[in-house]
Structure 1
Amino acid sequence: MGRPVVAIVGRPNVGKSTLFNKLAGKRIAIVEDKPGVTRDRIYAEGEWLNKHFTMIDTGGIEPDTEDIILSQMRRQAEMAIETGDVILFIVDGKAGITPADREIAQMLRKSKKKVILVCNKIDTHLTPDTVYEFYELGMDELAVISAGQGLGLGDLLDMVIAHFPDDKDTEKDEDLMKVAVVGKPNAGKSSIINKILGENRVIVSDIAGTTRDAIDTPFQVGEDKYVFIDTAGLRKKNKINENIERYSVVRTLTAVERADVVIIMIDATEGITEQDTKIAGFAHNNGKAAIIAVNKWDLVDKEDKTYLQFENDIRRELSFMAYAPIIFLSAKTGQRVSKMLGMIKEVNESYNMRVSTGVLNDIIGRAVLMNQPPSDKGKRLKIYYATQVGVRPPKFVIFVNDKELMHFSYLRYLENQIRDSFEFKGTPIQFELNEKKGD
């Protein structure tokens, strides 16, 4: 019993992504007046009248093409149609019917799915006569909207939810693990997700920059629910030329912000680069749980100490992220990929872990006995007590006599003592100092 799926399909540049963003209530898909911008299926949660559903935006269907990217876009759209419970077939109400519209309509009729023909770009409450020619496409229902102006969307959503199958779950989902996969272009982000999912959900190609949007892909194993967010590879700023690439960087950073766990993909054939360090730093500064995944390990010529040397390089360059576990794998051969889900779950549990105030203060008390707090000009730091005030990431407040006396190295020592008792694997720990006047 899954969530109802609404797939948005149509030829390029008819306003699919604009509608998708409007219904999602936020800008997820890149919108640009240029065919082929949305290349993969992009997932988002939708809700109307307390009924929750999953929406899929797709790359525009080009019925006859030999272009490798366009042909894969078509396959992605076909997979969305196969998955969808309700299909929104978007056409351009101003342009009229095109041969591509007719071919897509034929494909949809063969699918036997519930299809709503959506006549977009009608920016007036008066329906022009040209709209009625679209009935020629043979669809049972027609909705007239302007995605850009937000006209007619309520009526469209009423039609959508009326066709949800009875056996689908429309209640709000809780306990999702949101996992963003980030890294340089061509590091293998999409390949890893496809390997974990066991199907080609995301377009994979040797052409750098294939993934332009941050793509949400729901996935469930037993009771564990995940959402994988594949992202466009982050390039150096001086290599970002076109507007779409600039948008993609913003999408990647936004994907990190809304994720719980960030998988930082490193290309083993290139080693850790300055760009990898910047990407990891963004995840760390946003307080996200993290896993460092070194991909293409099968392509590295190995000697006795290759593994240890690579790990030491990562720890040196990402010294601020010593808490993050490292896994060496290969998306191509599947080496160690099976361990990823367990590692994500473990890291997510640490990200949400709580320590009772009593146990926390026992740890702090022992730490102070073993190593006295610093002093300055005869005045010594006093730690009165500590308490955990938040999770995602775990956050602790320490009450002291004078915040200025707390040296960062002693705070790091206290963090290490806490981690010795509770590993907090893969998650940063945040501290806040409050002054409390004592005797």
Structure 2
Amino acid sequence: MVSSFSIKSNIFNIIILKFLMSIPVIAILGRPNVGKSTLFNRIAGSRFSIVSDIPGTTRDWISLNIESEDNKFILIDTGGIDENPQEELSNEVSEVTKQVLRESDGIILVVDSKEGLNVLDFYAAQLARTSNKPCVLAINKVDNPNRLLGISEFYQLGLKNVVTLSAYHGNGVSDVIDQISKQLPIFNEKTEKSDSINVAIVGKPNVGKSSLFNSIIGEDRSIVNPIAGTTRDSIDTEVIFKNKKINFIDTAGLRRRGSIEPGIEKYSVIRSVKAISRCDISLLVTDITEKISSQDSHIAGMIKDAGKGCIVIANKWDLNEKLSLIQGDVSNITMDKLKFLNGSPIIFTSNVTKIGINTIFDKILEVYEEYNRTIPDNKIWDNIIDTISKHPPPSKGRSKIIIKNAFQKSTKPPTFEIKFQNGKLLHFTYKRYLENGLRKKFGLNGVPIKLDIK
């Protein structure tokens, strides 16, 4: 069995590299000691492959990306229903668990056949029913045939899809996953509007994402129509600018001010993952009144590793009268903290004075052009040869590393295949050197460069 706590956070970006798509989120819900964590660990340790953990994991919730031949989803083990029944009766359920359910696409409600029904089971079932999400009632600890005789009482919870299992022994676990998977919505990133530039507005809470979105669509522009997003919690708005369709993916307005505890903000990462997966370009919104935080860096890393274009928005510039900041200094400090966004433009904006709002549209078109840019093979070859001649790769004993070919294999983002003799011996720092050479020559500002070294 694989402990969910053993998945280290230094695998953070693997979720983006392999699973940053619009994939469903399944939450495991239930009162304490019914076997939620055992079921979670059994799923993770059986026929499924643990890919990575979700950034922001705490003792309140554990989440993993799960993959099998038939299923791909994010699994969340919630811990939000309080063990104190009286406290739970007064609060019904913690905001943490409620937020997880809002972000989820399906629910597995776990109950204990050994102990029977509990008042908290009814509260959990009510949450599941009122969420209007697909739900499977997993009656756990059915370790012998005699336990089957008493499961009829659980039908009082009013849930139709019922599966019996023993998470400890592994019996019935596959049935639970199969049952919930059949009910999940179909997610397909290919359903995005191919004739539009898809732009996601992302960033940590309280940096002004929602106000920025309103400023963007509130200008005198041709708003085509609101579109129900591919993901459950986003609203898309298509804007025409210079005869180009720009589809803004807004998740910023989902947070209800005052209703969410500070600790709950870790769940905004799920929205960010979904939004980034759908976009061509991300607007990473930061607050000039605050230092660049680890959360800013995490989101920036998600954007880069997802292979998306990025424009950094230094927001709340209207507050600079009190701060007396210099734009050049802010730009240098920001990019020093977000080094992996090499070449990304920075726009200073204010949702109050509307400064910089128009600039965003022009910059989106510029970055998208780079994102979709094709460079002639002969120019790529010349650049790689020139870069290597200035600093040849070190040999490994008798094994010399010799360039054989170089060309661009795809766009969105620009991806280059470079073939070497003994290319596997190249150190990652030399790959970065080659990338910097391409960027210095061709610009490609605001977009990641991907190298496929053969």
Give the TM-score of the pair, scaled to structure 2.
0.53
Distance 1:160 1:321, change over 3 A: closer
Matching residue's letter, 1:394: T
Distance 1:340 1:104, change over 3 A: farther
CA deviations over 1:2-34 (Å, ceiling 9, x no partner): 998866543456455664672774364699996
Greater share of helix residues, 1 or 2? Answer: 2
Query: 1:277·1:317 contact (CA, 8 Å) conserved in 2?
Result: no
1:196 paired residue among 250, 254, 258: 250
**C-alpha separation in 1, matches of 2:391 and 2:125:** 77
Q: 1:261 to 1:95 in 2, by over 3 A?
A: farther
Structure 1 segment 306-385 matched on structure 2, within 5 A: 306-315=326-335, 321-328=341-348, 355-361=375-381, 374=390
Which residue among 427, 430, 442 is the counterpart of 1:419? Answer: 442
Q: In the TM superposition, what are the counterparts of 1:121-140 in structure 2 within 5 Å?
A: 121-122=141-142, 127=147, 129-140=149-160
Question: 2:335, 2:56 → 1: CA distance?
Answer: 39
Paired residue secondary structure (2:111): strand
Matched residue, 1:379: none
CA distance in structure 1 between the aligned counterparts of 2:268 and 2:315, rounded to whole angstroms: 20
Q: By how many angstroms is 1:152 displaced?
A: 0.5
Q: 1:87 to 1:227 in 2, by over 3 A?
A: same
Query: Relative to 1, partners in 2 of residues 1:430 and 1:326: Cα closer, same or farther, differing over 3 Å?
Result: farther
Question: SS where residue 301 of structure 1 aligns?
Answer: helix
Counterpart mapping for 1:75-86 below 5 A: 75-76=98-99, 79=102
Q: Is the 8 A contact 1:280 1:318 kept in 2?
A: no
d(CA) in 1 for partners of 2:355, 2:381: 43
Q: 1:146 aligns with which of 149, 166, 170?
A: 166
Asked if 1:156 corresponds to 2:176, the answer is yes
| Alpha carbons 1:72, 1:203 under 8 Å: kept | no
Residues in 2 aligned to 1:279 and 1:113: alpha-carbon distance in whole angstroms? 29
Distance 1:121 1:72, change over 3 A: same
The structure 2 residue matched to 1:216, chosen from 270, 289, 302, is 270
State yes or no: 1:270 paired with 2:324.
Answer: no
Encode CA deviations 1:84-140: one digit per residue, 9 max, x unaligned. Answer: 5x6533223344321121233345556777653211344567745454432333433
- Partners of 2:132 and 2:66 in 1: how far apart? 24
Contact kept? 1:61, 1:77, Cα under 8 Å: no
How do 1:422-437 and structure 2 match up within 5 A? Answer: 423-428=444-449, 430=451
2: distance between equivalents of 1:413 and 1:45?
Answer: 35
Amino acid at match of 2:173: L
Contact 1:93 1:121 (8 Å CA) reproduced: yes
Q: Point out where structure 2 has 5 or more consecutive residues left out of the alignment.
A: 1-21, 83-87, 193-197, 213-232, 235-248, 393-401
Q: Structure 1 length normalisation: TM-score?
A: 0.54
Contact 2:201 2:252 in 1 (8 A): no
The separation in 2 between residues aligned to 1:145 and 1:226, in whole angstroms, is 37
For 2:281 and 2:49, the matched residues in 1 are separated by 23
Asked if the contact 1:44/1:216 (under 8 Å) is kept, the reply is: no
Cα separation, partners in 2 of 1:30 and 1:414, compared to 1, 3 Å: closer
Could you say if the C-alpha distance between residues 384 and 149 of structure 1 is closer, same or farther in structure 2, counting changes exceeding 3 Å? closer
- Residues 97, 336 of structure 1: CA spacing in aligned structure 2 closer, same or farther, 3 A cutoff? farther
